[in-house]
A and B are shown apart, each in its own frame.
Chain A
Amino acid sequence: MATVELEICTGTACYLLGGADLLLLAQELPAELRGRVRVRGRACMDRCRRPACGITPFVLIDGEPLGEATPEKVREQLRQRLAGRG
């Protein structure tokens, strides 16, 4: 079964500006994602310091950064990734 990796930044800026909600999502994944998403925490990636990279909070989905991440956006991205693989 195909799986996808989700890394959530736990640095101060990301945590305070939405990262905490993402961590909650990780603890309670929706049924269709459970068992197919490997969740890890990541120390600050320094993206927050560079405006060109986007807006906090950041996650990496299979190594690809996603800025201004909300639980909805992350869920959607994860579903798309998994659907694309079958």
Chain B
Amino acid sequence: MTAAGAVYEVAHAAARKRAQRVSGDLFVSGRAAEPGRIVAVLSDGLGSGIKARVLAALTATMAQRFAGHERRPAHALASIMQALPVCRERGISYATFSVADLRRDGEVRLVEFDNPRAVLLRDGRARTLPAREETVAGDAPYPRRLRLAGFTARPGDRLVLCTDGVTQAGMGRPATPLGWGEAGLHACLEQAVAANPDSDAAELAATVTRAAQAQDGGQCHDDITCAVIALRAPRELLVVSGPPITPERDRELAQLVRAFGGTRIACGGTTAGIIARELGTEVAVDLQRLDPEVPPCGMMPGFALVTEGIVTLARALELLEGGARDLTRDNGATRLVRQLLAHDRVRFVVGTRLNDRHYDPGMPVDLEARRAVVRRLKNLLERDYLKEAELTYL
């Protein structure tokens, strides 16, 4: 997060080389030592399949951790490069890397090695960043060079990293004998944001990946990965769950909800009922699309989503812990997860009134876990999904 309140949104999309089980590319991102700092790395391993993936994984995780602990990532990465082997037969390094160091004040530092050059998409125009090169000593038969670049990100900027599967897509075909190239990539990016100026990082990465695949008629001759880092004014989400500790504070909850300018979600029928009563509206329950996994959702004016409480929250946590891979079902938990992922900053407000009914020994689950589940959700969103999250009790 920058001093101006903007946040980084990081996403990527990928397609595997056909007939391979695993991509030889890897993109990792995570928080670095200082608060608000994120380090993201894209690596392309030599060859294909599992072996390439292992090389990319070693390189990417080393680079991400090492660079995250150092104030001068270029220095750290030069050391890594000296340590990484060079294939004796092919004479090239075992893996490439592009490292983006995103700092809290909006300063972005890039260190790139052997990947296509990073693209800055600003005000609708795509361009590569000016960079200086540094040669790294080592026992490679060719001079290995790091590209070092930096810029100050502005809200609305997008930084795009990709592997050569993107720029070399379509190579050998009549329309693109030398591949899609930087020109093709840049044009695609400019068209995408012209058509949809508010597209988020995930959408843009997916658009590029699909377009690259299309260059080869839908086939994938090489692993394709595109990562997009956007700096944006945060999309804010409020999730309220649980009645306030005393009924006297019900009004406070309603006022908090009314004053909130972003998207609102209520998890819990009692909670929604309290808010509805205070705001003079009603909650309706939707029995149209039932999924046995999770209790039905409700609807209330001013709320994007109303769900049941603990069962839904616990299922959402489970989905997120599993990487949010399969959201094809439509129920309160998948809808909640989609909303959590679609916002940059989440504020959880948990009511702390004790639910005496839930102390029935016939109950199959420990329902006072609401506080624990929400706390785990908050931590997971911050750590693994790079969201900003806040949790307050009422």
Contacts and interface: CB of A to CB of B under 8 A. Distances in A.
Interface of A: 8, 10-13, 15-17, 19-20, 23, 26-27, 39-44, 46, 48-49
Interface size class of B (residues with CB under 8 A): 20 to 34
Interface of B: 268-270, 272-273, 283-287, 290, 292, 295-296, 298, 308-311, 355-358, 360, 362-365, 367
A23 B287 contact: yes
Given A10-B298, A12-B311, A41-B286, 9 more contacts: A10-B269, A10-B285, A10-B296, A11-B295, A17-B362, A20-B292, A39-B287, A49-B355, A49-B356
16 contacts: A8-B287, A10-B287, A10-B295, A12-B309, A15-B308, A19-B295, A20-B295, A23-B287, A27-B290, A41-B296, A42-B285, A43-B269, A44-B270, A46-B270, A49-B355, A49-B357
Contacts, number: 67
A17 B363 contact: yes
A43 B272 contact: yes
From DSSP, what is the main secondary structure of chain B's interface residues? Answer: loop
A17 B286 CA distance: 20
A49 B356 CA distance: 6
Given A13-B357, A13-B358, A40 B287 contact: yes
From DSSP, what is the main secondary structure of chain A's interface residues? Answer: helix
Contacts of A10: 269, 285, 287, 295-296, 298, 308
Contacts of A17: 362-363
A44 B295 CA distance: 12
Contacts of A20: 292, 295
